[in-house]
Structure 1
Amino acid sequence: MTSTGPDDHALLRHHGDVDARPGLLDFAVNVRGGRPPTWLRDRLAGALDRLGAYPSADDDRRARAAVAARHGRDPDEVLILNGSAEGFALLPTLAPAAAALVHPSFTEPEVALRTAGAPVHRVLLDAADGYALHPERVPDNADLVVLGNPTNPTSTLHPADTVRALAGDGRTLLVDEAFMDAVPGEPETLAGDSETPGLLVFRSLTKTWALPGLRAGYALGHPDLLARLARNRPQWPVGALVLEAVVACCEPPALAEAEVAAVDARDHREALEAALGALGIAVNRPATAPFLLLEVADGRALREALRGRGIAVRRGDTFPGLGENHLRVAVRSPEECAPLLAALRAELPMGVSQ
C-alpha cells in the first residue's frame, strides 16, 4: 500500500486517445470497429427528433428497465451514466474517509478522489503472478475500494468470489466492468449481484459499441447507494441519445452480437499473443480482455519508433505500478495486426523479451 502525491497528476490524466494521433494505425484505444454498427447508428438517428424535448422520467425508466432486464436486477438498482467516467467523477459524493485503489488500473477514479481531497491509498499488484488480486493487501480501514475487472491495462480477470471478499460492512466496493462484455459468457461478472453489501458495478457501452463520442454507461447497486452517488447531479443529467443507446445495446439482438464479438476478440487475442511470443516479447498472462500488456526493452524508444512507422500503442508508465518498458496494445484481427507485427519485427532483435 502506498500513498500518493500531486506530482503524477498529469500522468494519471493521460489516456490512449492522446497516443492515437490522427493518421496513425490505432492500437492505443480499445474501441471495437472504429464506429458504431449500422443498426445502432440507425437507432440513434431515429431518436434525433426527440432532441427537441427534455429527457423525461419515462425515458429514464425505459432505459433503467432495459438494463435491469439485461442483468436480472430491479430498475431501482440502475443509474444511467454519461459513461463510466461520469460515475468516477461522482465518487467524491460518497465522502470516503479512506479510499483504496487497486493498481495497475484505470486512473480516473484516483484523479476524481484526489482532486476532491479524499485520502487515497494505492494497493499495488505484482507482475510475478499476472497481477492477481490479493484481498488481504487492502487496508481494513478502507471504506471505499475500487478495482477493474477485467483490469485495464493488465487484461487480468479476477475471480468473482475473490472480488466479493473485498466487501464489508460500511464499505463501498466499486468494480469497474467496462470490458466485461468483451469476455465470452462474462463468467466473473458481479453485475447481477444484488446481495453483496455495498457493491457498486459500473458498466460502459463505449468499447464494444464504439461510442466514446457519445458517453454511455450505467451503474448497478442498492438504490440508497445510487442515490448517494447521484446526489449532486444536475437536472436532466443524461440526454436522449444516451438513453436510446442504453436501451438498444441491452436488447437481445445486441447481446447476441456482443457475445459473438467477445468470442472473436478472444480468438484474435490468442493469435496476437502467439505472434508476440514468437518475437520474444513478454506478454502479461493470463489475458482476458481485448488488449494486452507488454514488457519490452527500452519501451519509450520502441514506442517512438512505432510512431515513426505510423503505429500508435498505449504507453504504460502512466498506470501506477508500471514503468516505461510497459506498453498496451489493443487486440485487432490478424489482418489488422499484421502491420504492427511487421513493425515490431523490424525494430526488435529476435529473442528480445525485455
Structure 2
Amino acid sequence: MPVVTDLRHHGDVELAPGLADLAVNVRAGTGPAWLRTVLHEAIDDSAAYPDAGPARAAVAAAHGRDPAEVLLTAGAAEAFTLLARALRPRRAVVVHPSFTEPEVALRAAAHPATRLLLRPEEGYRLDPAAVPEDADDRRALLAALPPGVEPVGEPRSSFVLLRVPDGGRVPEALRDRGWAVRRADTFPGLSRDHLRVAVRDPETSRAFTAALAGILYGGPAAEETH
C-alpha cells in the first residue's frame, strides 16, 4: 500500500511551551521594536477594515510594478490557494520533498496532482527529463521548432531564447500573422537573430512554430494563425 503523507503537518505541530523553536520560525526572538509599535497603534483602528492601499503601493514600488498588479496575501500558503482556484492546469506536477501547501491547494481545488520525488542517491537534484512530457510545455515548444531555429542554452524558465536565421525580419512578419515575440537584440550581447518567446500550451506552440516555419521557408505554414 502507498505511504499516506499528512500534507497538513507543519512545524507548529511540534511546538510546546518551554521548547526552543527550531521547527517553525526562521527568525529567533520577538519582532523588532518598530514593528511592535506599529502593531500596538493599529489596535485603535481594528474595528474597521484595513486599507490595503499603502501596503500595495509599497510592494509595487519595491518591485517596480503598477499597484494594480499587486495582490497582497496572508503568507505564501494563501497565494498557492488563490493560484489553484484561478488556474485550470492540464497536468499538475509537484516536486517533493518541498513545501506541501502547493499540493494541498491543488487537491482542494479538485486538480489531481502528480508527485515527482527527488532521489537521495542523486543528491535530491531535479532532472528536467523526469518531468512528464504532458506537463512540460517548454519541451513541447522546443520539439516543434522548425529546422534552423535553435534554442540558446538550456531553457529553464517560462521563456525560451531562440536563434533564428535572418531574424531581423521575423518579429514584424510574425506580427502580421498575429504573433508578438520579444526581439532580443536589446539585451547586451545578443543580436537581431535572437528572439525571446514565452512558453504557452502545446497547441499554441505548434501554431506559433508553424507560422514561424512559413515565414522562414514559405509554403502553407505561412498562412497559419492562432
TM-score, normalised relative to structure 2: 0.55
Which of 129, 150, 156 is residue 165 of structure 1 equivalent to? 156
Q: Which amino acid aligns with 2:46?
A: L
1:308 is aligned to: none
2:58 is aligned to: 66
Q: Which amino acid aligns with 1:139?
A: P
CA spacing shift, 1:75–1:124, aligned 2, 3 Å? same
Residue 107 of structure 1, CA deviation: 0.5
1:134 aligns with 2:127: yes
Q: Number of paired residues? A: 147
SS of the residue corresponding to residue 79 of structure 1 reads coil
CA spacing shift, 1:47–1:117, aligned 2, 3 Å? same
Q: Which amino acid aligns with 1:44?
A: L
For residues 197 and 67 of structure 1, the distance between their equivalents in structure 2, rounded to whole angstroms, comes to 25
Residue 197 of structure 1, CA deviation: 5.2
1:107 is aligned to: 100
1:270 is aligned to: none
CA spacing shift, 1:168–1:101, aligned 2, 3 Å? farther
2:39 is aligned to: 44
1:117 is aligned to: 110
For residues 124 and 198 of structure 2, the distance between their equivalents in structure 1, rounded to whole angstroms, comes to 25
Q: Which amino acid aligns with 1:115?
A: A
In structure 2, list runs of 5 or more residues that go unmatched: 138-152, 161-195, 200-226
Q: Which amino acid aligns with 1:53?
A: A
CA RMSD of aligned residues (A): 3.1
Q: Which amino acid aligns with 1:99?
A: A
1:21 is aligned to: 16
**Correspondence list, 1:198-213, <5 A:** none
1:53 is aligned to: 48
Identity among equivalent positions (%) equals: 53
2:80 is aligned to: 88
Residue 143 of structure 1, CA deviation: 7.5
Greater RCO between the two (CA within 8 Å, min separation 6)?
Answer: 1
Q: Is the 8 A contact 1:97 1:119 kept in 2?
A: no
2:175 is aligned to: none
For residues 34 and 198 of structure 2, the distance between their equivalents in structure 1, rounded to whole angstroms, comes to 38
Which has the greater radius of gyration? 2
Q: Which amino acid aligns with 1:110?
A: E
Residue 196 of structure 1, CA deviation: 9.0
**Deviation per residue, 1:269-318 (Å, 9 max, x gap):** xxxxxxxxxxxxxxxxxxxxxxxxxxxxxxxxxxxxxxxxxxxxxxxxxx
